[in-house]
Structure 1
Amino acid sequence: MHPGIPDEEQARTMTLEAFADTIVPGEKRSPDDKAVAGAATGGGAVAAGAVELLETSAAGLAPALGDFAQLLNRHAQAYADQHGLDLDGSVPAFVALQFPDRTALVGMLTAPGHPEREAWVSIALFSNMAFDTAAHMHTLDALAAGHPGLTAMGFAEPNADGLWRFPVYSYGRELASLHPGTTSSGSPA
């Protein structure tokens, strides 16, 4: 293998990271980070664990991620050819695209009428989900690790016992009466 050219596993991961970073941009993890474009400050989908979420069995996409990455790179190469772009051959084609070109290509792939739209929208949704909810982690662990999405949203820390209780109504008033059959743990009867 030629030095500097990623193997198949690295290429898959870099491509998926670049896609996730296009959906929820973040800052580069290091100066030589090629997957994360650095289009925003703070952690984005990649730092939030988008690839880890995509790889969970619960997401249902793990077996096809290699195929999606290859397909995305074929689309990126076709896009580059159409636009006369010279891509860095040491990284996968989608990773080699500049951020505005990545966003343009993802916009085309997720547009109504594109035959692969559902697949690309699914991957985009999981990228958002990783940032918005840390769905692949226990919330306590995500908060302890400084999860970028939960932190950016100001997600409340739990009480000392690890449970969330809200003694003040978030809307400043009680919205509904507690059901008389509600148990002390808050579960419905």
Structure 2
Amino acid sequence: MLVPKRRVIFKALTATVAALCIGRFPALTSPAAAAEAGVAGWTVQTIEALADTLIPGERRFAGDVAVAGAVTGPGAVQAGVITALSSPQLPLAPFLPEIAALLNARAITYAADHLIFLPLTTPAFVALPFRHRTALVSQLFDADDPDRMIWQLLSLLTGLAFDTAAHLDTRQAVTTGHPGLNWLGFPSPGSDGLWRFPDFSYGRALAILHSATTPSGSPE
């Protein structure tokens, strides 16, 4: 069922990358809001488990099954990956259940090949131990994997959620302590809300400031 829609899903992922890079859409605020938008239950757990495999973090609460707790500190889940992916203003949310189903199908095949028992109470990928999640995700990026581009774009979106807080206004993300930006040491803006960098990237000025440049840095 997924095969005819592979190109549609790829287009939705590409459009979502573009939208997040621009960062101009009202985002959801929580997994609960994501559930109200139609992305809930096993889909959320599966996507969270994939994001936590790509950028691991610590468990949010006792009994957290989606986040494996492989490291200390925040990961993609804590940084709001579900919020970023499930906004109704983006084209991706309707396809997340199918992407999760595809990943769980791959997890069932992997578990059968490795004689791993999977309980029926959680999604198959979520039930895999972290080292097996990592091994399976590595396989998803094999050059001959038919769905490789789907996983590549999904991993890019996961990175955008953690590294740039692309689903939030940057000032809002910094001032509210976005886990990813805070972990990376992203600087706070000045008192006027703007970022200025007193040191030249190459250690020296590469050009003389044009006399017609306005205070904002734009040419007249």
Residue identity matched to 1:165: R
What secondary structure does 2:155 align onto? helix
RMSD: 1.8
Shift of 1:129: 1.0
Cα gap change, 1:10 to 1:163, in 2 (>3 Å): same
Runs of 5+ consecutive residues of structure 1 not aligned to the other structure: 1-7
**Contact 2:85 / 2:92 at 8 angstroms: preserved in 1?**
yes
Aligned residue in 1 for 2:169: 138
Does residue 1:175 correspond to 2:206, yes or no? yes
**Contact 2:175 / 2:188 at 8 angstroms: preserved in 1?**
no
Shift of 1:146: 1.4
Aligned residue in 1 for 2:121: 90
**Contact 1:50 / 1:131 at 8 angstroms: preserved in 2?**
yes
Cα gap change, 1:172 to 1:75, in 2 (>3 Å): same
Residue pairs, 1:41-120, within 5 angstroms: 41-56=72-87, 60-120=91-151
Q: State the distance in 1 between where 2:182 and 2:44 align.
A: 25
Aligned to 1:31, which of 59, 62, 66?
62
Query: In terms of mean alpha carbon deviation, does 52-61 or 130-139 score higher?
Result: 52-61
Shift of 1:167: 2.8
Shift of 1:53: 1.3
**Contact 1:56 / 1:62 at 8 angstroms: preserved in 2?**
yes
Shift of 1:166: 2.2
Residue identity matched to 2:99: F
Q: Identity over aligned residues, as a percent?
A: 51
Aligned residue in 2 for 1:3: none
TM-score, scaled relative to structure 1: 0.89
Q: State the distance in 2 between where 1:53 and 1:28 align.
A: 20
**Contact 1:54 / 1:123 at 8 angstroms: preserved in 2?**
no
Q: How many residues are aligned here? A: 182
TM-score, scaled relative to structure 2: 0.77
**Cα deviations across residues 51-106 of structure 1 (Å, max 9, x unaligned)?**
11112367542221110011111111111111100113211110000111111111
